[in-house]
Structure 1
Amino acid sequence: MSDPIAIAATADGLQPTLDLDHLVQASQQLIEAGRALDAAGQVPATGGNFSCRLSDRLMAVTASGCHKGRLTSGDILVSDFAVRLLGTSRKASDEARLHGQLYEDLPQAQAILHTHSRAATVLSLCHEGDTLNLEGFELNKALEGIKSHETPVRLAVFDNTQDIDALALDVRARLKADAGLHGYLIRGHGLYTWASSMTACRRHVEALDFLMGCELELRRQR
């Protein structure tokens, strides 16, 4: 009998194409990212979720409840962007839909990392507006598309909510209004960022965490 989850994933009548070599490569990238970000204190407990684009319809995404520093290939799930899982009975994070929405709206995005660093969590609560500008830092140039320290890094800021579908729509609207965003913060929660490769996405996380830490220190001194 066919797996009903696989059937659900192809309910529109279009068979998704899954490159198994690409899946193996994506799984290894996600496992390595988990180990590195755990070592850096970016994903405490079972916090965070990661993904890689597999095709124009599919993504590899971390399973719900997994410690990111101890991921195995069995913790990497395949789903379409609506989070209809392919060939598994395991559960993806409820926030996987935020990954799918970003892949739908940002064709250049090949990897997405969601982290729970201390700097992101605290700064998201301190900042009162709906956009955080990180300006004047040399490390701004670590973000894709930024060539000068004079170019601000912009992060959208959203209130925390358990209504992930509504949040995905809010993110979609913000991206349409501001195509220059490099990520977003959820208040009291953490950071989402994306890039054209997993290597670049990990660089984004590292740079943004440093920049947010600098911004917090500056605010303490004012």
Structure 2
Amino acid sequence: MDHVTMPDPWAGAVQDIIAAGRRMDRFGWVPATAGNISRRLPDGRIAITRSGGHKGHLAEDGVIAVTLDGQAVQAGDRPSAETLLHCQLYAHSDAHAPEGRAPGGRAEEIGAVLHGHSVAATVLSMLPGEAILLTGYEVLKVFAGQDTHDTTVRVPVFDNDQDIARLSRVVAPHLGAMPAGYVIRGHGVYVWGRTMDVALARLEGLEFLLACELERRKLAP
């Protein structure tokens, strides 16, 4: 019998994160050392970008493993300060996906989380208001539960806070009701999906729509 080599989950997650970083960098969504990227592993650990590196130039050592509570698996590794926001999403998925249903009646598992800092997200989030409303766009259908352009998707905007644990407590009541992700004011977006490909599609969709909103406001009298 031929020997079958099973794929290495860690290596696959690392390559997914490296590829996502390069893709986000091409669009200018991870300037300097901004942003972070993670993917869930089958054993429950999380592969996530190391603190301080440029996400468009990641190598394998730029990705580390953390537990679901955000602690580095290997001594000496330093996770991003915002790792807790990734962990919060995975923990919510674990707690609610089997029973809870995403919009449209499907259970929403979270297998990847992306955080970027685009110009459009940063500028729009600095305007007054608790949310950015996206209405009438065909691309809204990229988000879970949306099957028509004739709808409005609300993207919550949370005030920035360097105390990430406190910020996570503000975000917590809204989990499960943010099909397009959310924005941290003056900071950037958080988007997630069942797989890295789904998360990237939602990120690109959200960033496209935010860019459209920014252009519309420039045209407004």
Give the TM-score category using the shorter length: 0.7 to 0.9
The answer to whether structure 1 residue 43 and structure 2 residue 44 are counterparts is no
Q: CA deviation at 1:145?
A: 2.3
State the partner residue of 1:221: 219
State the partner residue of 2:158: 158
Residue type at the aligned position of 2:134 = L
Gaps of 5+ in 2: 1-5, 95-108
SS at match of 2:37: strand
Work out whether residues 156 and 178 of structure 2, in 8 Å CA contact, stay in contact via their aligned partners in 1. no
d(CA) in 1 for partners of 2:167, 2:208? 26
Residue type at the aligned position of 1:164 = I
For residues 27-79 of structure 1, the C-alpha deviation after alignment (integer angstroms, 9 at most, x for no partner) is 00000001111111110111100000114732111000010011111111111
Specify which of 93, 107, 115 is matched with residue 106 of structure 1: 93
Specify which of 147, 164, 186 is matched with residue 188 of structure 1: 186
d(CA) in 2 for partners of 1:140, 1:205? 12
Q: How has the CA–CA distance of structure 1 residues 96 and 180 changed in structure 2, closer, same or farther, with 3 Å as cutoff? A: closer
d(CA) in 1 for partners of 2:214, 2:12? 37
d(CA) in 1 for partners of 2:53, 2:152? 34
Work out whether residues 156 and 181 of structure 1, in 8 Å CA contact, stay in contact via their aligned partners in 2. no
State the partner residue of 2:124: 123
d(CA) in 1 for partners of 2:13, 2:208? 26
Q: How has the CA–CA distance of structure 1 residues 200 and 40 changed in structure 2, closer, same or farther, with 3 Å as cutoff? A: same
Work out whether residues 83 and 97 of structure 1, in 8 Å CA contact, stay in contact via their aligned partners in 2. yes
d(CA) in 1 for partners of 2:7, 2:88? 23
State the partner residue of 1:167: 167
Residue type at the aligned position of 1:37 = M
Q: CA deviation at 1:220?
A: 2.3
The answer to whether structure 1 residue 63 and structure 2 residue 50 are counterparts is yes
d(CA) in 2 for partners of 1:191, 1:56? 27
Residue type at the aligned position of 2:80 = S
Q: How does 1:61-100 map to 2 (within 5 A)?
A: 61-100=48-87
Q: How many aligned residue pairs are there? A: 201
d(CA) in 1 for partners of 2:45, 2:7? 12
SS at match of 2:66: strand
Work out whether residues 175 and 181 of structure 1, in 8 Å CA contact, stay in contact via their aligned partners in 2. no
The answer to whether structure 1 residue 139 and structure 2 residue 174 are counterparts is no
SS at match of 1:98: helix
SS at match of 1:106: helix
User: TM-score, with normalisation over the residues of structure 1?
Assistant: 0.86
Residue type at the aligned position of 2:110 = A
d(CA) in 1 for partners of 2:193, 2:27? 20
Specify which of 193, 196, 199 is matched with residue 197 of structure 2: 199
Specify which of 9, 14, 17 is matched with residue 30 of structure 1: 17
Name the Cα RMSD after superposition: 1.6
Work out whether residues 70 and 84 of structure 2, in 8 Å CA contact, stay in contact via their aligned partners in 1. yes
d(CA) in 2 for partners of 1:102, 1:203? 18
Q: CA deviation at 1:180?
A: 4.1
Work out whether residues 113 and 192 of structure 1, in 8 Å CA contact, stay in contact via their aligned partners in 2. yes
Work out whether residues 113 and 202 of structure 1, in 8 Å CA contact, stay in contact via their aligned partners in 2. yes
Residue type at the aligned position of 1:131 = A
Gaps of 5+ in 1: 1-18
